[in-house]
A and B are shown apart, each in its own frame.
Chain A
Amino acid sequence: MNIHEYQAKAILRNFGVPVPEGHVVYNSNSARDWAKRLGDGPWAVKAQIHAGGRGKGGGVKIAKTPDEVKQFTRDMIGMTLVTHQTGPEGKLVKRVLVESGCNIADEFYVSFLVDRATSKVTLMASAEGGMDIEEVAANTPEKIFFEAIDPTVGMTAFQARKVAFKLGFAPAQVKQAVPLLKNLYTAFVEADCSLLEINPLVLTADGQLLCLDAKLNFDDNALFRHLRIRDLRDYDEEDMMEIEASQYDLSYIALDGNIGCMVNGAGLAMATMDIIQHYGASPANFLDVGGGATIERVTEAFKIILSDEKVEGILVNIFGGIMKCDVIATGVVEAAKQVGVKVPLVVRLEGTNVDLGKQILAESGLDIVSADGMADAAEKIVKAVKG
């Protein structure tokens, strides 16, 4: 789960991490009022969407007067911000963060994430702040420093110092960096983050370290123990259909193609998308109905797939293990009757009670094409759609 920058900064502030003073606003008058309350300018006016690269798209402005803060906020709220992370459709701006500005002397990059290779939380830092870290990693990997953190003792002072000296900090800043990095690590662990990214971490003209931007992503599997964080979920930032699907325990992701897929199991679902492409077409979605699919869930899955207007055909691929094929077949038939599937439907069933399942499909009177194996299924649906 992702949250907004202002929410991330509020969480970090609670862990003693230095962040600029600021406030989120939903209209321009309130923006001007908050600017005045924050003290002297300049102020940063920042569009709050769940995507990076906002500056280039006009989502970050520096205002010199409270009236400018008001004007910029008015410009931003209601605008569709397009960045390299939003996709061409962009995201609608509904909230804006007004913050005290600062004089930047230097910029750095700091992040924490779980490294699969070491199974440890790892600190990643670079003096190339403000840049896309992926670019730094691709072009000058030697400029990124790593410290793997022992989960039993946590982030140690010497590790923080090592990184701070490598970043070229003067002794006064190293002193600030030690608690700052330790507190960031504590926040990461206490809040069950999957990513904590500060880009940039700035050195101000008066020698202070400050987290000018903050991005927190959370481990969805751990949200059960972070109810306050879970409440920060912003449904406006998510795909409507994905939200709808998640209410029925369906794992759904919309894609650009025209063949809808319904599969059990994440790996097989990905493989089904791949085989559609292998036969020259494109999947309209990833959809995993899970292991315990009921008639209701299969019906909902059909509704969700069909609500995508791009869908010109549906491929159902089920490898029944614990899930019996006759149950799935009954679900598919019921769902197809209820929803009224008007596009070609190819069903491939394999596994427990497969013959009974195929018989149910054949006797349903519905126009369902039965397939043997994944290749046959993919060929049939691609042919049906392409004509």
Chain B
Amino acid sequence: MSILIDKNTKIITQGITGATGLFHAQGCRDYCNTQMVGGVTPGKGGGEIDGFPIFDTVEEAVEKTGANVSVIYVPPIGSADAIMEAVDAGLDLVICITEGVPVLDMVKVKKYMEGKKTRLIGPNCPGVITPGQCKIGIMPGYIHKPGPVGVVSRSGTLTYEAVWQLTSRDIGQTTCVGIGGDPVNGTSHLDTLRMFEEDPDTKAVIMIGEIGGDAEEKAAEFVRDHMTKPVAAFIAGATAPPGKRMGHAGAIISGGKGDAASKKAFLRECGISVADSPAEMAEALLKIWKP
């Protein structure tokens, strides 16, 4: 078991004829035979690229391939439209990798998605991987290993760091979810923790947060009130000055809210094992859980 994706997941790539889209579609196909069943590029339907059939619309791609998930590499100017097209086609899950999507486009997308069944991960995220079964996104597959720990994070390379700390200690992962660094995104830390709590194979969770907003605090309340599984966490940005954007649009301390110290303190109050150093994320989990 796992969350969101597994070996039966069938994926189409929106923006497959772009260099990035094709490169990662190939990379995902090479990982444990992930079922990358085709791609969408409007105007190039009927063609083929490196064995991937191309379709003009998501609707057609779904009809012909039976895909239930889409991954988006479409540039920012068309990302919101691409997400809505995937939602309209009734996919279960849409993962938007694209960085730089305007925030107000995402506000419209979120409204459009109300009442629809599709779940969105991202934008501005590395993607989702269920080790040994299915990789969707830009993460390096080989650092992962199947096992019992769920990982959720806003950041890409910091997630790799956490995963690597686990894998080096011979601890595998159920699913690793990169929810993205933007202020308005599809799936929150809280949503992901809920899924990990319901997944019988996930025995423990590492949650990686950042300064800015209060998404980590909301997730921590869920851990305190409803979660039966141990959770460890790290919050990046203890040294970030207020009012400065640290790369991610979401990672900004404003109005005295969202700083690392208060986040860490609150997470600890909620029973989460918080690592003070990013080198100790796996250690923080092992303090409260034995594999």
Contact = CB atoms under 8 A, between A and B. Distances in A.
Given A219-B102, A265-B156, A267-B158, A286 B247 contact: yes
Contacts of B142: 352
A58 interface: no
Contacts of B27: 322
A92 B104 CA distance: 33
A325 B1 CA distance: 33
B157 A267 contact: yes
B107 A266 contact: no
Contact of A321 (B107, B140, B183): B140
Contacts of B138: 291, 321-322
B90 to A, nearest CB: 21
A150 B140 CA distance: 39
A373 B277 CA distance: 12
A283 B246 contact: no
Contact of A286 (B102, B208, B246): B246
A253 B183 contact: no
B234 interface: yes
Interface in A242-299: 251, 253, 255, 263-278, 282-283, 286, 288, 291
Nearest to A374: B279
Contacts of A85: 243
Q: Which of B234, B248, B255, B279 has the most CB of A within 10 A?
A: B279
Given A224-B77, A253-B246, A267-B181, A192 B102 contact: yes
A32 B238 CA distance: 49
B254 to A, nearest CB: 9
Contacts of B280: 375
Interface string B194-222: 00000000000000101101110010000
A48 B256 CA distance: 25
Given A374-B278, A374-B279, A375-B279, A271 B234 contact: yes
Contacts, number: 179
A119 interface: yes
A255 B240 CA distance: 9
Given A117-B214, A270-B237, A322-B138, A221 B184 contact: no
Given A266-B247, A319-B160, A274 B277 contact: yes
A266 B246 contact: yes
B238 A274 contact: yes
Given A192-B102, A266-B246, A271 B156 contact: no
Contact of A116 (B76, B184, B255): B184
Q: Which of A85, A264, A266, A267 has the most CB of B within 10 A?
A: A267
Size category, A interface: 35 or more
A256 B67 CA distance: 51
A246 to B, nearest CB: 12
A283 B239 contact: yes
Contacts of A339: none
Nearest to A287: B247
A361 interface: no
Nearest to B236: A270
Nearest to B27: A322
B111 interface: yes
B279 A222 contact: no
Contacts of A219: 102-104, 249
A332 to B, nearest CB: 17
B44 interface: no
Q: Which of B77, B159, B218, B240 has the most CB of A within 10 A?
A: B240
Contact of A288 (B143, B159, B247): B247
Nearest to B141: A321
A152 interface: yes
B241 A255 contact: yes
Contacts of A343: none
B276 interface: yes
A151 interface: yes
Given A116-B250, A275-B278, A351 B181 contact: no
A134 interface: yes
Nearest to B239: A273
Interface in B61-104: 76-77, 100-104
Interface in B93-149: 100-108, 110-111, 138-140, 142-143
A91 B184 CA distance: 33
B104 A351 contact: no
Contacts of A321: 138-140, 143, 156-157, 160
Given A119-B184, A266-B181, A269-B246, A114 B107 contact: yes
Given A282-B239, A321-B160, 10 more contacts: A116-B250, A221-B249, A222-B102, A253-B246, A267-B181, A269-B246, A270-B236, A273-B240, A283-B239, A320-B140
In the A-B complex, the 10 residue pairs with the closest CB atoms = A267-B155, A266-B247, A265-B157, A267-B158, A375-B279, A222-B102, A271-B278, A268-B157, A321-B140, A270-B236
Interface of A: 85, 114, 116-117, 119-121, 133-134, 137-138, 150-152, 189, 192, 194, 219-222, 224-225, 251, 253, 255, 263-278, 282-283, 286, 288, 291, 319-322, 350-352, 373-375, 378
17 contacts: A114-B184, A119-B107, A121-B107, A219-B102, A263-B157, A265-B247, A266-B248, A268-B161, A268-B278, A270-B251, A271-B278, A274-B237, A274-B277, A278-B276, A319-B164, A351-B160, A351-B164
